[in-house]
Structure formats: C-alpha cells, structure tokens
C-alpha cells in the first residue's frame, strides 16, 4: 500500500511511523507486571496434612521428591480403596475425598509454579511468608510484581532447596564449586537459615538462565536456602529456583501467618500454602560478601553479632562485617526534608512519609553515621547513587494508622519514658481540637477538651513500658469527667489488653464519645519482639487504630546506639514503619 508522505495530505487517513519512544522498548514482562490478577479464588492449603518432612541440612532434593510421590500415591490409593469398600460411612468417604482433594490442590499449586501460566504461590518460610514464582520465567516473575504492587526496580531473592541446587543454578558441581569462596564456610554454618547472599549473575551458558526481572539493574542475585522444611520441600518438588519476596502488598508489614497473606492478596493469587506461624518473624539478613569488608545490606533474622562472633572464631573476613544499610546515598528524593521539631519534653524527628510521589520512597527519619575507622560513609565513594539493597529505599511495614516510635536509652527512668508518651498524647489531642476555637481563643467548652469522635489507640510495649504505657491513668488526669467503660481485660490468652473509656452522655448534653486503648505486649527479648512485631502492626490495622504508640526496646547501660545492638533488626523495622520518632 502506498502511503503519501507530503504535508498537504493532512486529514487523509494514513499513519506515518513515529519515532520510537523509550517506553516502546518496555518488555512484555514490564507491561505484564502492571496488570494485577483479579478474581482469583484464593485457597489456603494446610501443609500440616503432609507426612513428616525431614529438616536436616543434608536432606537431598531427591528425598523430598520421593516423599511427595509417596504422599500422592498414598492419597490415590486410600481413595480408590475406599471407593471400593462398602462398609464405610458417608462421612468417612467425604473425609477421604477431602484428603485426596487437598493433595490434588497441592499438586496444582506446584504445577502452577512449574508451568508458569498461573499467578505466584504463597508459601511459608521460617522468616516470613514468601510469594513464589519460577525464577527462570520472566512472565511468572512479572506476576509477583503485579500481585504485590511492587516497584519494578526492587530485585527478588531466589530460594533454593539445597546447596547442591544452588551449585546447579550457578553451573558448578560438588568438585568444582561456582559459589564464591567468601560464602562457602558461611553457608556451611548458617544455611539453611535466615541469610541471603549476593552472588554474581551467572554468565550466559553457565548454570540456569535467570529471568532479567528477578535482578533488575543488578549484577548480582540474592540466594537463600530457607530453614522451613515446607519451603525446601516445595522448591525441591517444583525443581526450580523460586524467586520470592515477602507475600504482603507492597508497603505493608510482612506476613507471618497464612491469614496475613490472605488479608493482602485475596483474589490476586490462587494458593496460599499454610505451614503455621513463622518462627523468626522478620526477614532474612542480606549480606554482600563481594565487598571488602562484607556488608549487611538488610539486617534480619541472623544478627550482626552472630556473624562477627563466628567470623572471629574462624579467623575469616566475616569478623569485619559492617552495616551497609545506613548509607546516605545522595539520591534526590521528592520528599519533605527531615526536620527536628523540639517539643518541651522531647526531641522529635519527623519521618518524611509521602505517598504522593507514587513511588512510596522512604526517607529515614534519623540518619546515623558509624564513627569507627571503617565507617560506612568512607565506603560511600564506592557505591553508585542507588542503595545497595534497592528495597531499603522503599516505605515498608507501615500500618494504616499513624505510628509513633519512642526511643529511650536504657538508663532513662520509666517516668521519663512514659512522660514522653503522655506529652505526645496531649500534643495529638490538642491538634484535634476544633479549628475555630483554637484560632480565636473562644471560651473553653467541653468539646474543646475531648476528642471529637471515637478514638482507638494501639500501644505496643516491649522491655520497660507498663501495660498500656499507663495511658488509662493518664487519661483520667487529662479528663477527670470521664469514666471507665470497662476494666482492662485481655481479649484472648496473650492477645491485646483492652481498656475503654467513655464520656457520659449527659455531660453538657453532648453525645457520648469513647476511647479504646489496646495494649499489645511484644515481648522482652529480641527474638520474641521479632516474632510478634508484624502481627501486632496488623492487629492494630484490624482494630482500626488511629494512633499507634510503640516502645523501641533498649538494653545495657551505655548510649542508645550501643544499647540497640541486640535489637538492631527490630529497630530497623520499627523505624521504617514509624510516621514519627521521638528520642527521649
């Protein structure tokens, strides 16, 4: 067909080739990852029905596959045996068939990982639940980004079922390892477990070909061998390296139960494999051993102290491991500046949370610079403008309510700690007073003194705050006319303490208002706090807490920074979730 090219032909129906725009070059995967799956029927499959899965370090992939085959055979056999038997009750039959159905659904879940035409599958690990897809299939990986709403530049961790599996992925063998030397003793010690190592992307023709969207913009891939036997079993049976971020919607707290996953991804994925509550509760520690000294790019389930102590014992380079996540990157961000506003009782740093730029980029409210000679800042020239772990620049773990974090050194008295909370409460309530009365100083009326609608506050305590941080008593001091609507009570065994206050309806003819206080104890040691933190933040969402007061844990007798060593991982998560940090 002839296309006329002269300018006078305006108005004629023809198309001329327009210059190619950069967006035209977008890969189909990038396009796919913008299309969330919808209308999936999300099912939770209970993995506790599986036979005992061995956990030992040396369990081979082949053993896991054999266990699965035997399990399927047994289910098929018991069902056909049952179908032929005449004396079983209808109810037994239903149960057997349910068992068969469960095994077939598990098979479908695994098949959807291997065929790569279905949404990703959520599965348990010992840290948090992951959202898995075949790391060699770009379209499947795009499905992860779509389901989570994850920014496309944030690389994924690839999960393997054994060290032999990692070797296979990298093109190595038992006698000729392709795993960088710096990691070999390390993984021998800490795998399976909450540790992710960065390894150069295998060259073309070596090992397996990873989908480029697993490691966008990175020359390395993060690998992890999880400790959860369910995770290893699943990966071995799928016989694929499985890329998996945490199975939450981007920005939300990571899920530590199957129900948390359902809260975020219901209708977007088909299968959630339920292995019970995650034992560790925070994500893996991401380390870069290709850097000298090695860096921790994300603190996690394996502590820096454990890494260093083991490195000292072995006399290897891991004794020098440094924090690498606190880099000031110099990236220009569309955010309000970090400001320090001095409050009478406390110094408050406001975290700049801003969703309006659409990228959910996070700015740390306080930027710390280690002062030893191997300071992280000295290494700064070594890094590009992007953070070494791109995920660390994104807003994370945030509950829907405003979270206020209170950090105090351990030498601080209980009175000073709780006073900071009461001052904050007073400040927040003050800010809720009706605008005109504040502006024009009209006579004091009751409604000036009280919240203007129902108010729910979550209080997450750790090592030293009393239950509810003593807020119920403080409330009586602030508003003596109010009465207790209920005595403190625990909602369930270890669940939140609930205390409700109300203003009587007949006071000055105003309608009754109420305040609900929910206290959630996180535990007193770093392991318990790690295990409970994300679930507690989700509970605050479920209770519609408008404000959430959180006690940052501290121990020891020195300065806050030293105090915090043991609590480094949970503090990093708390700081990221916080809207505001108050240094007491």
Would you say 119 and 224 are in contact if contact means Cβ atoms under 8 Å apart? no
SS3 letters across 105-163: HHHHHHHHHHHCCCCCEEECCCCCCEEEEECCCHHHHHHHHHHHCCCCCCCCEEECCCH
Answer yes or no whether residue 388 interacts with ligand TXA by CB under 6 A: yes
Would you say 201 and 215 are in contact if contact means Cβ atoms under 8 Å apart? yes
Q: Which is nearer to Mg ion, 207 or 300 (CB)?
A: 300
Answer yes or no whether residue 389 interacts with ligand TXA by CB under 6 A: yes
Closest CA to 471 of 450, 491, 497: 497
DSSP-derived secondary structure letter, 525: S
The only residue of 136, 246, 462, 554 in contact with ligand TXA, by rule CB under 6 A: 246
Q: Which stretch binds Mg ion (CB under 5 A): 96-104, 239-247, 305-313, 407-415?
A: 239-247
Q: Which stretch binds ligand TXA (CB under 6 A): 150-158, 179-187, 484-492, 537-545?
A: 150-158
198 forms beta bridges with: 222
Answer yes or no whether residue 245 interacts with ligand TXA by CB under 6 A: yes
Burial class, 540, CB count within 10 angstroms (exposed 0-12 / middle 13-18 / buried 19+): buried
DSSP-derived secondary structure letter, 335: S
Neighbours of 477 (CB within 10 A): 8
Query: Could you tell me the strand order of the sheet in which 242-243 lies?
Result: 43-46, 271-274, 121-123, 130-134, 242-243, 157-159, 220-224, 195-200, 285-288, 295-298, 322-323
x/- track of binding to ligand TXA for residues 283-322 (CB under 6 A): xx-x----------xx------------------------
Question: Segment 331-370, which members bind ligand TXA (CB under 6 A)?
Answer: none
Distances in Å between the Cα of 312 and the Cα atoms of 305, 306, 315, 539 are: 10, 10, 5, 41
Would you say 64 and 199 are in contact if contact means Cβ atoms under 8 Å apart? no
Q: Which is nearer to Mg ion, 246 or 569 (CB)?
A: 246
Q: Which is nearer to ligand TXA, 324 or 470 (CB)?
A: 324
Q: Alpha-carbon distance 580 to 406, whole Å?
A: 9
Write down the least CB distance from residue 569 to Mg ion, Å.
Answer: 14
Q: Alpha-carbon distance 514 to 479, whole Å?
A: 12
Q: Which stretch binds ligand TXA (CB under 6 A): 1-9, 213-221, 444-452, 502-510?
A: 213-221
Neighbours of 115 (CB within 10 A): 12
Going by their DSSP bridges, the two strands 285-288 and 402-407 should be labelled as unpaired
Burial class, 90, CB count within 10 angstroms (exposed 0-12 / middle 13-18 / buried 19+): exposed
Answer yes or no whether residue 257 interacts with ligand TXA by CB under 6 A: no
Answer yes or no whether residue 222 interacts with ligand TXA by CB under 6 A: yes
Q: Which is nearer to ligand TXA, 232 or 298 (CB)?
A: 298
Q: Alpha-carbon distance 265 to 272, whole Å?
A: 9
- Return all residues near 459 (Cβ < 8 A) that are at least 6 apart: 465, 468, 469, 471, 517, 518, 519, 520, 548, 549
Q: Which is nearer to Mg ion, 157 or 408 (CB)?
A: 157
Give the number of residues in contact with ligand TXA, rule: CB under 6 A: 30
The only residue of 246, 360, 531, 579 in contact with Mg ion, by rule CB under 5 A: 246
- Among ligand TXA, Mg ion, none, partner that 222 touches (CB below 5 to 8 angstroms by kind): ligand TXA
Answer yes or no whether residue 130 interacts with ligand TXA by CB under 6 A: yes
Write down the least CB distance from residue 567 to Mg ion, Å.
Answer: 20
Write down the least CB distance from residue 359 to Mg ion, Å.
Answer: 16
- Among Mg ion, ligand TXA, none, partner that 297 touches (CB below 5 to 8 angstroms by kind): ligand TXA
Q: Which is nearer to ligand TXA, 242 or 408 (CB)?
A: 242
Would you say 506 and 496 are in contact if contact means Cβ atoms under 8 Å apart? no
Q: Which stretch binds Mg ion (CB under 5 A): 63-71, 238-246, 370-378, 434-442?
A: 238-246
The only residue of 36, 152, 293, 390 in contact with ligand TXA, by rule CB under 6 A: 390
Q: Which is nearer to ligand TXA, 166 or 501 (CB)?
A: 166
Three-class DSSP category at 252:
coil
Q: Which is nearer to ligand TXA, 257 or 516 (CB)?
A: 257
Ordered DSSP codes for 383-433: S-SS-SSGGGGB--S--SSEEEEEE--TTS-HHHHHHHHHHHHHHHHHHTS
Three-class DSSP category at 267:
coil
Q: Which stretch binds Mg ion (CB under 5 A): 176-184, 240-248, 428-436, 442-450?
A: 240-248
Answer yes or no whether residue 198 interacts with ligand TXA by CB under 6 A: yes
Ordered DSSP codes for 424-453: HHHHHHHHTS-HHHHHHTPPP-HHHHS-SS
- Among ligand TXA, Mg ion, none, partner that 284 touches (CB below 5 to 8 angstroms by kind): ligand TXA
Write down the least CB distance from residue 394 to ligand TXA, Å.
Answer: 8
Answer yes or no whether residue 569 interacts with Mg ion by CB under 5 A: no
Distances in Å between the Cα of 221 and the Cα atoms of 74, 172, 211 are: 39, 16, 11
Answer yes or no whether residue 256 interacts with Mg ion by CB under 5 A: no
Answer yes or no whether residue 285 interacts with Mg ion by CB under 5 A: no
- Among ligand TXA, Mg ion, none, partner that 127 touches (CB below 5 to 8 angstroms by kind): ligand TXA
Can you say how many angstroms the Cα of residue 375 is from the centroid of all Cα atoms in its chain?
A: 28
- Among Mg ion, ligand TXA, none, partner that 157 touches (CB below 5 to 8 angstroms by kind): ligand TXA
Q: Which is nearer to Mg ion, 257 or 555 (CB)?
A: 257
Q: Which is nearer to Mg ion, 125 or 246 (CB)?
A: 246
The only residue of 221, 237, 242, 459 in contact with ligand TXA, by rule CB under 6 A: 221
Q: Alpha-carbon distance 282 to 194, whole Å?
A: 9
Write down the least CB distance from residue 484 to ligand TXA, Å.
Answer: 42
* HSE, side-chain direction, 13 A CA sphere, residue 465: 29
Residues of this chain that bind Mg ion (CB under 5 A): 246
Residues of this chain that bind ligand TXA (CB under 6 A): 125, 127-128, 130, 154-157, 194, 196, 198, 215, 218, 220-222, 224, 244-246, 283-284, 286, 297-298, 388-392
């Amino acid at each position: 067909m002839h296309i006329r090219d002269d300018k006078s032909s305006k108005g004629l129906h023809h198309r001329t080739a327009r210059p190619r725009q950069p967006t035209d070059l977008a890969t189909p995967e990038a396009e796919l990852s913008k299309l969330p799956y919808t209308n999936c029927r999300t099912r939770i499959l209970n993995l506790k029905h599986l036979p005992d899965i061995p956990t030992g370090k040396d369990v081979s992939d082949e053993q896991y596959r054999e266990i699965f085959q035997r399990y399927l055979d047994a289910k098929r056999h018991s069902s056909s045996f049952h179908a032929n038997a005449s004396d079983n009750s209808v109810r037994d039959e239903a149960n057997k068939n349910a068992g068969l159905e469960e095994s077939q659904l598990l098979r479908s879940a695994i098949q959807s990982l291997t065929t790569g035409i279905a949404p990703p599958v959520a599965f348990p690990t010992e840290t948090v639940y992951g959202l898995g897809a075949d790391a060699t299939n770009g379209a499947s990986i795009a499905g992860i980004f779509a389901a989570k709403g994850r920014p496309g530049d944030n690389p994924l961790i690839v999960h393997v079922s054994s060290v032999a599996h990692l070797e296979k992925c990298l093109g190595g063998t038992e006698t000729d390892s392709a795993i960088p030397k710096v990691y070999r003793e390390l993984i021998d010690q800490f795998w399976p477990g909450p540790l992710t190592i960065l390894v150069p992307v295998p060259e073309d023709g070596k090992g397996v070909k990873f989908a480029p969207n697993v490691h966008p913009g990175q020359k390395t891939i993060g690998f992890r061998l999880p400790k959860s036997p369910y995770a290893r079993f699943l990966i071995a049976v799928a016989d694929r390296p499985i890329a998996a971020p945490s199975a939450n919607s981007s920005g939300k707290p990571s899920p530590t139960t199957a129900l948390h996953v359902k809260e975020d991804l219901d209708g977007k994925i088909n299968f959630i494999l339920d292995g019970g509550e995650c034992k560790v509760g925070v994500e893996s520690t991401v380390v870069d051993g290709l850097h000298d000294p090695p860096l921790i790019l994300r603190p996690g389930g394996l502590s820096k102290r454990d890494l260093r102590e083991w490195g000292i014992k072995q006399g290897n380079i891991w004794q020098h491991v440094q924090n690498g996540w606190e880099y000031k990157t110099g990236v220009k961000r569309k955010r309000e500046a970090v400001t320090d506003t001095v409050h009478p009782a406390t110094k408050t740093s406001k975290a700049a949370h801003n969703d309006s730029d659409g990228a959910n980029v996070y700015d740390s409210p306080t930027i710390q610079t280690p002062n030893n000679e191997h300071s992280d800042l000295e290494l700064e020239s070594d890094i590009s403008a992007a953070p070494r772990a791109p995920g660390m620049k994104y807003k994370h773990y945030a509950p829907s309510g405003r979270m206020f974090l209170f950090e105090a050194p351990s030498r601080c008295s209980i009175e000073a700690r709780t006073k900071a909370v009461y001052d904050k409460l007073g400040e927040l309530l003050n800010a809720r007073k009706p605008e005109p009365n504040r502006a024009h100083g009209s006579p004091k009326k009751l409604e000036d003194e009280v919240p203007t609608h129902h108010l729910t506050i979550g209080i997450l305590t750790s090592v030293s705050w009393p239950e509810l941080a003593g807020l119920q008593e403080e409330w009586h001091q602030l508003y003596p006319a109010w009465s207790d609507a209920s005595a403190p009570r625990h909602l369930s065994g270890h669940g939140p303490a609930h205390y409700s206050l109300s203003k009587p309806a007949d006071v000055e003819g105003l309608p009754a208002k109420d305040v609900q206080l929910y206290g959630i104890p996180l535990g007193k040691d770093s392991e318990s706090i790690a295990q409970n933190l994300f679930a507690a933040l989700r509970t605050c969402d479920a209770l519609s807490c408008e404000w959430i007061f959180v006690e940052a844990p501290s121990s020891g007798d020195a300065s806050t920074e030293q105090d915090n060593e043991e609590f480094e991982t949970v503090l990093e998560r708390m700081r990221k979730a916080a809207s505001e940090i108050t240094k007491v």
